Amino acid sequence: MPFKLGVIGIDHGHIFGMLSNMQAQGCSCAQYWTDGSPVTENKFNEVFPDLDRVADRRAILDDPDVRMVLISAVPADRAGLAIEAMEAGKDVMVDKPGCTTPDQLAQLREVQARTGRIWSVNFSERFQVPSVTRASELVAEGAIGRVIQTVNLAPHKQNLKTRPDWYFQRERYGGILCDIGSHQIDQFLHFTGSTEARVVHAHVENTTRPEHPGFQDFGEATLMGDGGHGYVRLDWFTPDGLPTWGDGRLFILGTEGTIECRKYTDIGRPHQTDTLFLVNGTENALIDCREAGRPYFARLVADVQDRTETANPQAMTFLTMELAIHAQLMAETHA
């Protein structure tokens, strides 16, 4: 049974996918609160004209009909708002990164355990990408055997003219490995089935924007888990010629085959999202995955109703952010 939502913080554009996908599941939303005047607000009001902005977020947190709060505030502020929401008896879906420091993560663990609320981080590069949905199905079916390694490439366009000040401030956005890297670490854990993992290499740098010393335009990390290995590379170097914001790719190596997801475009051909390549002992296939769906949202609705963990295990969400924060700090310590 769908339920009522509230929105707290719209500073990042991911709020559009978060809210629209939950509305597609039948959830309603009447109010939002945000701090200041985020660059997203005009578009947000155009896309969601029926939502009223409230001056005090307690109007949302104290509403007994609101069961879940969606949070896409500035990354450094997300943990505090999520804690406030859980303390108010609300489940939470927060944009990635769900937190930016070890202290925030420790507080979130304590509050989530004490309140029994759901703290779900929307790792949209898995949850909102149909080709990754299909890859998950194929891996579960045994199409490539046991997964040995994942490789995630996550290039982005800078689009500097549209970026707010916090985008350049390390303490506000959390660093490139914590922020974008949490997407990729989530996929590594998911596809390898790892429940324990460690970071064995991490590096970040700012090669193009010395006028913004807190900005990081390149990052990489290597991980080893009890279910497999992972490598992630993140950058802000996508050229303007690409018809979308980034040529994100996921490579999954198995004992019996390989999968490649070309998530957001396919270079050199007419622009199309969600192309998957599968090679194994019997197949050499190109699969159009645009209709594969985004089951995370339906599962999250069910989790709120049934108090289950079908959308993503709570322990895995915490482990993803633990590894992302650790990788970020390791990279900066060794820089």
Query: 269 pLDDT exceeds 90?
Result: no
Average pLDDT rounded to a whole number, residues 2-30: 97
Identify the pLDDT of residue 7.
98
Q: With bands split at pLDDT 50, 70 and 90, how would you rate the model's confidence at 201?
A: very high
Average pLDDT rounded to a whole number, residues 117-132: 98
In a domain? residue 320: no
In a domain? residue 319: no
Tell me how many degrees the CA angle 293-296-298 measures, rounded to the nearest 5: 85
Same domain assignment for residues 46 and 159? no
Q: Mind listing the pLDDT tens digit for each residue in 212-237?
A: 999 999 999 999 999 999 999 999 99
In a domain? residue 311: no
Query: 53 pLDDT exceeds 70?
Result: yes
In a domain? residue 59: yes
Q: Mind listing the pLDDT tens digit for each residue in 303-331?
A: 999 999 999 999 999 999 999 999 999 99
Rounded CA separation 152/147 (Å): 14
Please check whether residue 101 is in contact with residue 95, taking contact to mean a CB–CB distance below 8 angstroms: no
Identify the pLDDT of residue 211.
93
Q: With bands split at pLDDT 50, 70 and 90, how would you rate the model's confidence at 334?
A: confident
Q: In what order do the strands lie in the sheet with 275-280?
A: 197-205, 218-225, 229-235, 147-155, 249-254, 257-262, 275-280, 284-288
Tell me how many degrees the CA angle 234-237-240 measures, rounded to the nearest 5: 135
Rounded CA separation 326/324 (Å): 5
Same domain assignment for residues 259 and 153? yes
Split into its structural domains, the chain has a count of 2
Q: Report the chain's mean pLDDT, rounded to a whole number.
A: 97
Identify the pLDDT of residue 335.
65
Amino acid at 138: L
Rounded CA separation 259/135 (Å): 7
Cβ contacts of residue 46 below 8 Å, gap of 6+?
Answer: none
Same domain assignment for residues 161 and 113? no
Of 122, 152, 176, which residue is a domain's last? 122
Same domain assignment for residues 130 and 225? yes
Same domain assignment for residues 96 and 186? no
CATH number at residue 261: 3.30.360.10
Identify the pLDDT of residue 148.
98
Instruction: Please list, residue by residue across 28-55, b when 16 or more beta carbons sit within 10 angstroms of its beta carbon and e when fewer do.
Output: ebbbbbbeeebbbeeebeeebeebeebe
Q: Mind listing the pLDDT tens digit for each residue in 72-103?
A: 999 999 999 999 999 999 999 999 999 999 99
Domain residues for the domain of 18 are 4-122
Identify the pLDDT of residue 29.
98
Amino acid at 82: A
